[in-house]
Amino acid sequence: MKVASTLAATIFTSAVVGSPVSSLAPRHWGSWGGFWGGWHGWHGSHGGHEGELSCPANGTLAPGAIEPSLMVVISASEPDTAFGGTQWPEITPDDKCTIFNLDLPGDAGNSTCTLKFLFPDHTQTSAPYYIDGGMHFTFNGYAPGVGADTSTTYAMQPEDGPNPPTPPALLEPGNAYIINAGPCLVPEGVEKFTVSGALCSSDSTFKYLQTSGMKCPIGFYVEIS
């Protein structure tokens, strides 16, 4: 997802995420309760008393954190298919990507926006997910103020946004990532301002339930402070 010098202008920017991983076993589905500046990862911890839930460091959300307003899967092998909205982002090697819309409120213009990707491991969340592969991901950003809708397809994506620097990191379970933090810079006189981008991969299969309500949260969020 593309990220430029200002967060609202480019919360998602085009960036390759990852470095080689020699051997990674698939992370299989968890149970149901009982699924741009740069990337900076914090490793998770299982501190505290035995049986006590511990999220990855910085892997919790401030009150009022913004969740995606729409997530849409697109497919290079089915370029004219509109899959509609989903709560289950899906990425497959060189094929399926998921577009995320995040709506910043109109009164956030003088605030700081922090874009996070939270990725607890299966001991830290009841939300099911599956990931397998080298865990290298790209984030292809779109023009500020536009996003996907339920008719979006691979062949008809939103307009591209600006290119960012390439941040080095991996997207691995048990971590929380700050993708970017900076002034929100929402234009005056708007009720909301949409920023969006697509998560893709050349070597990994990843599917998860985006949720903040099943123990530790998982997925993309924006915190405003």
**CA proximity to 196, closest of 115, 106, 100:** 100
Quick one: average pLDDT of 8-37? 39
Quick one: average pLDDT of 189-197? 92
Output 14 or 174, whichever has higher pLDDT.
Answer: 174
Residue 31 maps to a domain: no
Residue 50 maps to a domain: no
Residue 29 maps to a domain: no
Which residue range forms the structural domain that includes residue 213? 61-224
pTM: 0.79
Domain count, the chain: 1
Residue 23 maps to a domain: no
Q: Calculate the CA 85 to chain-centre distance.
A: 15
Residue 187 maps to a domain: yes
Judge contact between 74 and 198, C-beta under 8 A. Answer: yes
Tell me what pLDDT residue 21 has.
Answer: 29
135-158: per-residue pLDDT in tens? 998 888 888 898 999 999 999 999
Residue 116 maps to a domain: yes
User: Which band of pLDDT confidence, cut at 50, 70 and 90, is reported for residue 51?
Assistant: very low
Residue 56 maps to a domain: no
